[in-house]
Amino acid sequence: MQMGPPPTLVALDRAEAQRVVRRHRSKMCMRRHRAKKKALNARLEEYVREVQLENLRLQAHLAGLYDQRGVSLCIAKTSQYTKLFEFGYSPTRGAHARRQEAFLAEFAAPHVNYNGQIGVKHILNQWAMYDALFGSVHVACMDITVVTVDVPLIVLEATYDARVVVTGAAVQALFPHLVNRPDLVDKLIGSTMLLPLRVLFSHDMASHRVTRVQATASVVVALVALLKNVDDADVALQGALLVEDLHLNLDAV
Taking alpha carbons only, the member of 153, 168, 231, 156 closest to residue 200 is 156
pLDDT of residue 26: 80
- What's the whole-number mean pLDDT along residues 72-80? 94
pLDDT category of residue 54 using cuts at 50, 70 and 90? low
Residues 24, 167: Cα–Cα separation, whole Å = 82
142, 159 in Cβ contact below 8 A?
yes
Model pLDDT, residue 114:
93
pLDDT at 79 over 70: yes
CB 108 within 8 A of CB 120: yes
**Digit-coded pLDDT (tens) for 96-114:** 999 999 999 999 999 999 9
Q: Are 212 and 112 in contact (CB under 8 A)?
A: yes
DSSP letter (8 states) at residue 88: -
pLDDT exceeds cutoff 60 at 231: yes
Q: Can you give the pLDDT at residue 253?
A: 45
Are 79 and 105 members of one domain?
Answer: yes
Beta bridge partners of 181: none
Which of 3-17, 108-122, 148-162 has the lowest average pLDDT?
Answer: 3-17
User: Model confidence at 58, in pLDDT bands (50, 70, 90)?
Assistant: low
pLDDT of residue 97: 96
With respect to residue 102, please indicate whether it lies within any of the assigned structural domains.
yes
Residues 59 and 177 in one domain: no
- My answer on whether 39 and 112 are in the same domain is no
Indicate the pTM of the whole model: 0.71
* Whole-number Å distance between alpha carbons of 134 and 119: 24
Phi, psi of 154 (to 5 degrees): -115, 115
For residue 253, being part of any structural domain is answered with: no
Does 41 lie in the same domain as 88? no
Do 208 and 112 belong to one domain? yes
DSSP secondary structure code for residue 191 in this structure: P
* Strand segments (E) across 133-208: 137-150, 153-165, 192-204
The values of phi and psi at residue 8, to 5°, are: -65, -45
Q: pLDDT exceeding 70 applies to what percent of the chain?
A: 84
Q: Are residues 38 and 140 in the same domain?
A: no
Domain that holds residue 126: 70-237
- The per-residue pLDDT for 252 is 45
Whether the CB-CB separation of 79 and 141 falls below 8 Å is answered with yes
Same domain (yes/no): 84, 185: yes
The least confident of 58-62, 127-131, 229-233 is: 58-62
Q: Is residue 82 part of a domain?
A: yes
Establish if 248 belongs to a structural domain: no
CATH label of the domain that carries residue 167 = 3.10.450.50
Q: Give me the torsion for CA of 170, 175, 176, 179, rounded to 10°.
A: -100
Total number of domains in the chain:
2
User: Which residues of the chain form beta strands (DSSP E)?
Assistant: 108-114, 117-118, 137-150, 153-165, 192-204, 210-217
Q: What is the pLDDT of residue 250?
A: 45
Measured in degrees and rounded to the nearest 5, phi and psi for residue 155 equal: -110, 125
Judged by DSSP in three states, 37 sits in helix
Domain match, 23 and 112 both = no
Is residue 196 located within the same domain as residue 79? yes
User: SS3 sequence, 122-144?
Assistant: HHHHHHHHHHHHCCCEEEEEEEE
Q: What is the pLDDT of residues 146-197, one digit of tens each?
A: 998 888 899 999 999 999 999 999 999 999 999 889 999 999 999 999 999 9
Do residues 46 and 98 share a domain? Answer: no
Instruction: Check whether residue 111 and residue 20 sit in a common domain.
Output: no
Q: Are 137 and 87 in contact (CB under 8 A)?
A: yes
Taking residue 174's Cβ as centre, other Cβ atoms within 10 Å add up to: 22
Distance CA 18, CA 30 (A): 18
* Model confidence pLDDT, tens digit, residues 125-153: 999 999 999 999 999 999 999 998 888 89
Q: Are residues 53 and 110 in the same domain?
A: no
The domain boundary, picked from 43, 69, 95, lies at: 69
